Amino acid sequence: MKRIIAMMLALMMVFALCACGNNTSNDDKQKADDSVKTLTVGVDPEYPPYAYMGDDGKYTGFDVEVAQAVCDLLGWKMEIFALNWDQKLTQLDAKECDCIWAGMTILDSMKEAGYVISEPYYDNTQVLLVKTDSGYKTSADLAGKAVAVQLGTSGEALLNGDLSSLKDSFSNVVTCNSFLSCFTELGGGSVDAVFVDYPVAAAYVAENDGYSIIDEGLGAEQYGIAFRSGDQELCDQIQAAIDQLVENGTYQKIADKYPDIVNNLIFLNK
Amino acid sequence: MDLITMLKTMLDGMGGTCAIFFLTLLFALPLGMVVALLRMSKVKVISSITRAIISVLRGTPLMLQLIAVTYGPYYLFELPVAKNKLVPVVIAFAINYAAYFAEIYRSGIESIPVGQYEAADILGYSKIQTFFRIILPQVLKRIMPSVTNEVVTLVKDTSLAFTVSYVEMFTIGKQIANSQSSFVPFVVAGVFYFVFNAIVDYVMGKAEKAMNYYQ
């Protein structure tokens, strides 16, 4: 009996080592193909519907699909780089990716720091996600209640800046490290609302019963693609490609797959 | 996403987890011994410098050290960031764990009575012979439980590697969890860490038993 267990454990070890082997061979393949220009797109793959892990275990989402279409059009190879969102600008500076393209809010501070930003492509607002049976209808109803927000998001920045009076009306703001933990706090009753980007809330409401959205157009902002300072040319190339995709209808086709965000896409509403 | 795809996707990341684990042990275990010997050096300068380094490594979060090792060279000297993230990740882990292992080794070495060194000296053993033939075998036996402790912690610490975008099993689990609004990946991750540590525990237990030849 003991021997069988030992054998099984040994097999598992071997299996684990094989997995290591597989990984490195993947890296080699990517390195070998240097002749084609590669665009490394930095995304936050925990941010549906812009970028997330699809049912087949591959990265997908609106931004990922548009980026892929742009690369196809320009004859480039696309590579996805999973950003650590808290450190996205460091990782862009360090040339780990060529751009940040993942539902990223355009902040004045980024422009001041010299980053090249594309034309805005999405109008976003911050909303409050609440349980439907709680009966909250406006942000005023939430005075004195606890609210969750994700660390490093524009929602968090707004609460600490322009919307600080709203923050002061809450009894407590809980900062979580992912949307899922924010939503779990809400589901579990430890907070009464989640302050979150509209499309994320819409996607969650579509999948889960018993939640509703309070949309008061708070913190209107726009999404864009960020490049390193000096990469104006790359930005222009990609912008031109996107314009072409809008014209030939590919952009619309991709957008139709994401009903939660299609209404706020700037290029389609011009 | 069905469970099979989820398991398959997470299994891809387990390679990354295992790579950190084995490579860190490979470098940290011997490096720890070197650091321990430097720490116990009779030359005051060497021992106090080593002591200071150990206290920095143990006194700052591993997450911070990962960032420093990966992005420090870029910010300080404009050097490119390593394409293969495994390199800076393993360097940071190995240095950090070597500091802990060094103190474990030191506790073992200093627990050996002075009388043994004196007896070895009388029997004509050189200093090096004394260390490798008499002291070290006893030290290894005594430190096994503490080393197992650190190794088990290492398994769980591998999840910190995503701080610098090194993708391992837990990162993929988190991505699936947030993409699919599901807690199942966390359960899978928990089971994986537990099974991994059960194996570590078993192997270390066997080693401890094998070294128990005097009882």
Going by pLDDT thresholds of 50, 70 and 90, the confidence category of residue A6 is low
CATH of B3-210, one of 3.40.50.620, 3.40.50.1820, 1.10.3720.10, 2.40.50.100: 1.10.3720.10
Fold (CATH) for A37-122+222-269: D-Maltodextrin-Binding Protein; domain 2 (3.40.190)
Considering only CB atoms, which chain A residues are within 8 Å of B2?
55
Q: Output the CA–CA distances (angstroms, integers) from residue A248 to A251, B53, B174, in the order listed.
A: 8, 61, 36
Structure tokens at A219: 């913190």
pLDDT of residue A24: 39
The structure's pTM equals: 0.76
The answer to whether the beta carbons of residues B116 and B50 sit under 8 Å apart is no
pLDDT at A7 over 90: no
Lowest-confidence range among A86-90, B62-66, B142-146?
A86-90
Residue B181 has its nearest CB partner, among A82, A87, A207, at A207
Task: Calculate how close chain A gets to B163, using CA atoms only, in Å.
Answer: 6
Q: Which of B69, B89, B82, B107 minimizes the C-alpha distance to B27? A: B89
| A194 vs A188: CA distance, rounded Å | 12
Segment A16-51, tens digit of pLDDT: 544 444 443 344 444 445 578 999 999 998 888 899
- Domain ranges across chain A: 37-122+222-269, 125-221
Tell me which CATH code domain A125-221 carries: 3.40.190.10
| B149 vs B130: CA distance, rounded Å | 28
Segment A237-265, tens digit of pLDDT: 999 999 999 999 999 999 999 888 888 89
Considering only CB atoms, which chain B residues are within 8 Å of A16?
14-15, 18
Task: Calculate how close chain A gets to B36, using CA atoms only, in Å.
Answer: 30
> Radius of gyration (Cα) for chain B, nearest Å?
21
SS3 content of chain B, % helix, strand, coil (to 5): 85, 0, 15
Segment A205-234, tens digit of pLDDT: 988 889 999 988 888 889 999 999 999 999
First-last CA distance in chain A? 72
Structure tokens at B102: 């060094």
Pairwise CB contact (< 8 Å): B84 & A17 = no
Pairwise CB contact (< 8 Å): A23 & B15 = yes
Residue A57, chain B, CB below 8 Å: the answer is yes
Segment B9-18, tens digit of pLDDT: 898 889 999 9
ipTM tops 0.90: no
Q: Do domains A37-122+222-269 and A125-221 have the same CATH topology?
A: yes
Structure tokens at A8: 């099984």
By percentage, how much of chain B surpasses pLDDT 90?
70
- Domain ranges across chain B: 3-210
Residue A84, chain B, CB below 8 Å: the answer is yes
HEC sequence for B140-202: HHHHHHHHHHHHHHHHHHHHHHHHHCCCCHHHHHHHHHHHHCCCHHHHHHHHHHHHHHHHHHH
Structure tokens at A32: 């070998």
Residue B199 has its nearest CB partner, among A9, A27, A48, at A9
pLDDT of residue A199: 85
